[in-house]
Amino acid sequence: MKPLRILHVCTSDKVGGAARAAHRLHIAQREAGMDSHMLVLHRTEPSPHVHAPLSKLAQLAQRLKLALSVRTLERQQTPSNPVLHSMNRFNSGLGRWINRSDFDIVNLHWLGAEMLSINEIGRIRQPVVWTMHDMWPFCGAEHYDDLDYPGRYLNGYTAASRPSSYQGADIDARVWRHKKKAWAGKRFHLVSPSQWLAGCARQSALMGQQPCHVIPNCVDTRVFKPLDRRLARQILNLDPDKRYILFGAMASTSDRRKGFHLLQPALKQLAARNGIGHNTELLIFGASEPEQPIDLGLPAHYMGHLHDDISLALLYAAADVFAAPSMQDNLPNTLVEAMACGTPCVAFALGGMTDLIAPQNTGALARPFEVEDFCDALASMLQHPPARETIRRTATERYSPTQAAQRYEQVYALATSAST
């Protein structure tokens, strides 16, 4: 029997957490003998199975469309929600490319930068599986709900639910209504990496009636694996006798959602504790060293932007604990990667973090946004960490590429059978 031809659609093949997760799934499926391909706007390296068909002229037009959308958002709507917003209002032409192709199933991922318009998504002729990397598929223009005014996606963006602090046009509501109209009668099979995001989608006014499956992101455990800590530190020019807390993500110190402003006071408290602070330092990746030093209470080493998995694996192996003080998150690749390297993780008990971290087994969870509790959790993992073998075993059992490929194949079978 001829294998299904699968097309993963994502803005990039490797830049950003969603792209890296999509690419890992694509590779896992190819290694499992599945005919997987990717369609992207931005390709980082040539591959016969990663397609970036837009001409240079079309790419320029795409950048202009994105600039116009961003300008519209900035001029017409002033929300208190600082997260990324995407309107996806302009056709890119990639929807037509998809419909002319002979792929059996289309697996959507992250579609920012005007990759596919809302209308183009609604017109895809093949069965659609949509892996949700954030809340955009069932929200308005925002990629994550407003922390201060949550829940508009539950009731359909009514005027009464709009926060009084928002100024200008209600672009979020306008985009939500556009999605509702363009996707009316459209069948999506949603996949969520976390139980939390699946729960949000199932309760949403837009996607609540669509089938939703939970499949965690996978990680290449051949690359992300426990390494000799002293050797990793020697390669990275780090002190073999210090204790290191690792923190990082894309825009790790500038994206408020990542919680750096909550980590700072927690580290200051940790620095003041006898027996811990004097020998502990911080490693930061995903951000450049600021011109004006930030008082963190602990010495900090800025490792820059790391784009290759081998460097990341070395960094996880060198660290004693990985800190993830996010205020909102789905199922961060960073935690899965750290766990695969045998490094314990500390996070607030929210979002997909509760799927990932089993207290005392793979790390520690703090009460949301309580700085002192986060500090206690860090101290606990520095002084009494779980066995690296236990953390590693959990990662290999839950997040293996083989398991992810098999579970997606089951969802594809459901999606294709429902369309016939």
Q: 333-356: per-residue pLDDT in tens?
A: 999 999 999 999 999 999 999 999
Check if the beta carbon of residue 330 is closer than 8 Å to that of residue 193.
yes
Q: Are residues 152 and 248 in the same domain?
A: no
Q: Are residues 334 and 269 in the same domain?
A: yes
CA distance readout (Å), 411 to 19, 38, 112:
20, 18, 24
Q: Are residues 391 and 405 in the same domain?
A: no
Q: Are residues 165 and 255 in the same domain?
A: no
Kind of pairing between the strands at 77-78 and 167-168:
antiparallel
Residue 105 lies in a domain: yes
3-state secondary structure at position 346: strand
Check if the beta carbon of residue 205 is closer than 8 Å to that of residue 183.
no
Q: Are residues 157 and 242 in the same domain?
A: no
What residues contact residue 81 under an 8 Å CB cut-off, 6+ apart? 142, 144, 145, 146, 147, 148, 149
Instruction: Give the C-alpha separation, 375 to 271, whole Å.
Output: 10
254-283: per-residue pLDDT in tens? 678 889 999 999 999 999 987 787 899 999
Residue 147 lies in a domain: yes
Residue 223 lies in a domain: no
Check if the beta carbon of residue 277 is closer than 8 Å to that of residue 264.
no
Which residue stretches of the chain have pLDDT < 70? 1, 249-254, 420
Residue 384 lies in a domain: yes
Nearest-CA neighbor of 116 among 92, 98, 82, 146?
92
Length of the chain: 420
Instruction: Give the C-alpha separation, 150 to 137, whole Å.
Output: 16
Query: Residue 23, Cβ neighbours under 10 Å: how many?
Result: 22
Residue keyed to tokens 């750290």: 338
CA distance readout (Å), 247 to 143, 244, 264, 367, 380:
23, 10, 11, 19, 17
What is the reported pLDDT for 81? Answer: 77
Kind of pairing between the strands at 280-285 and 188-192:
unpaired
Instruction: Give the C-alpha separation, 420 to 234, whole Å.
Output: 58
Q: Positive or negative CA dihedral for 116, 122, 124, 129?
A: positive
What is the reported pLDDT for 251? Answer: 59
Residue 224 lies in a domain: no
Check if the beta carbon of residue 87 is closer than 8 Å to that of residue 117.
no
What is the reported pLDDT for 253? Answer: 64
Q: Are residues 288 and 365 in the same domain?
A: yes
Residue 202 lies in a domain: yes
Quote the domain boundaries for residue 343: 229-398
Q: Are residues 258 and 330 in the same domain?
A: yes
For the domain that residue 77 is a member of, what is the CATH number? 3.40.50.2000
> Where would I find the H helices in 272-332?
309-318
- 224: which 2 tokens? 């992300």
Q: Are residues 409 and 270 in the same domain?
A: no
Check if the beta carbon of residue 142 is closer than 8 Å to that of residue 136.
yes
Q: Are residues 9 and 125 in the same domain?
A: yes
CA distance readout (Å), 362 to 262, 343, 354, 388:
22, 8, 11, 8
For the purposes of burial, counting CB atoms within 10 Å of the CB of 390, is it exposed (0-12), middle (13-18) or buried (19 or more)? middle
What's the N-to-C CA distance of the chain in angstroms? 18
Q: Are residues 350 and 311 in the same domain?
A: yes
Residue 72 lies in a domain: yes
Which H or E run contains 144?
none
Task: Look up residue 26 and give its amino acid.
Answer: H
Total domains in the chain come to 2
Residue 326 lies in a domain: yes
Residue keyed to tokens 């993963």: 8
Q: Are residues 246 and 373 in the same domain?
A: yes
pTM of the model: 0.94
Check if the beta carbon of residue 168 is closer than 8 Å to that of residue 78.
yes
Instruction: Give the C-alpha separation, 124 to 351, whole Å.
Output: 30
Residue keyed to tokens 């927690």: 266
Query: Residue 383, Cβ neighbours under 10 Å: how many?
Result: 11
Q: Are residues 89 and 175 in the same domain?
A: yes
